[in-house]
Amino acid sequence: MKNRLKIERAILGITQEELALKIGVSRQTISSIEKNRYVPSTVLALRLSELFKKPVNAIFELEGNEG
Amino acid sequence: MDMNSALECEKKSLKKLKKYRLPNRFKTIGIGVIVFSLVSIIVNKTSVDNGLFTQTAKYGILLGLLFISLSKEKIEDELMINLKMKSYTFAFVISVIITLTNLLFTFITSALFEKQMNVFKGIGDWQVLWFLLSIQLFYFEFLKRVSR
């Protein structure tokens, strides 16, 4: 699963810490998602989509063999 | 109470049980209990009576490990819960493997060297629980470091 979290965060101009605070998780969770080490739950993905005002598909994308 | 409300009630209590964690301060309490138990064992080794007291202190170590294992992280979010679940699964599988391997090893060596096939001594409950809790805690810390 690829994601554009880092790019979207850069567009909003917020740090990992600030994003973590906004959606109620730890900075480590944001860092893990950005590095593709952790796939977030649907709830967290929807929270991120709401914050970035973009559909979940625009932030998270399945890679070749995952579909 | 009809069937649906009974099921709903059961679901709620199961959810509560799944989410049950001790507050973060229990981590410190757990470490304290372990240190106290270890000191008690060491001090008690020098004195004459080391039966019941040492046994109680040994279970104190398990209680301390359980406190640490069940306590929440400073920020307990879905990543931490996910890592904890992974560590519990890993610890369970490894503990069963260790127990079975030990059992088999004891059986084979006793059959070979003692010429008695019926000797089937496994490791005790304390060792199994100690393995389980220690492996869970170490693996959880390892996963936390790796996910950073």
Instruction: Judge whether B32 and B68 are in contact, CB under 8 Å.
Output: no
Lowest mean pLDDT among A8-12, B5-9, B17-21, B72-76: B17-21
From the list A25, A38, A40, the residue facing B147 with the nearest CB is A38
> Model's pTM, two decimal places?
0.80
Question: What is the set of domains in chain A, with CATH numbers?
Answer: 2-57 (1.10.260.40)
pLDDT at B109: 77
Distances, alpha carbon B59 to alpha carbons A39, B92, B102, in Å = 38, 19, 22
> What was the ipTM of the complex prediction?
0.83
Q: Are residues B54 and B115 in the same domain?
A: no
- For residue B66, the enclosing domain spans 23-72
Report which secondary-structure segment, H or E, holds B121: none
Instruction: Mark whether B122 and B137 lie in a shared domain.
Output: yes
Looking at the fold, whether B146 and B91 belong to one and the same domain comes out as: yes
Which two tokens mark B42? Answer: 């060491």
Does residue B18 belong to any structural domain of this protein?
no
Residue B4 located in a structural domain: no
**B91 and B51: one domain?**
no
Minimal-distance CA residue of chain A relative to B143:
A37
Looking at B38, B72, B106, which one is the last position of a domain?
Answer: B72
Comparison of pLDDT for B50 and A21, the residue scoring more:
A21
**Which pair of structure tokens corresponds to residue A20?**
């973590």
B86 and B122 belong to one structural domain: yes
> Could you tell me the two tokens for B105?
């090893």
Q: Could you tell me if B89 and B31 lie in one domain?
A: no
Same domain assignment for residues B135 and B77: yes
Same domain, B91 and B147: yes
Q: How many domains does chain B have?
A: 2
Quick one: B94 and B125 in the same domain?
Answer: yes
Rounded to a whole number, what is the largest CA-CA distance in chain A?
A: 33
By the 8 A CB rule, do B62 and B35 touch?
A: no
- A32: nearest CA in chain B? B147
- The answer to whether residues B135 and B87 belong to one domain is yes
Asked if the model's pLDDT at residue A40 lies above 60, the reply is: yes
Residue B100 has pLDDT above 80, yes or no: yes
Touching check for A23 and chain B: CB below 8 Å?
no
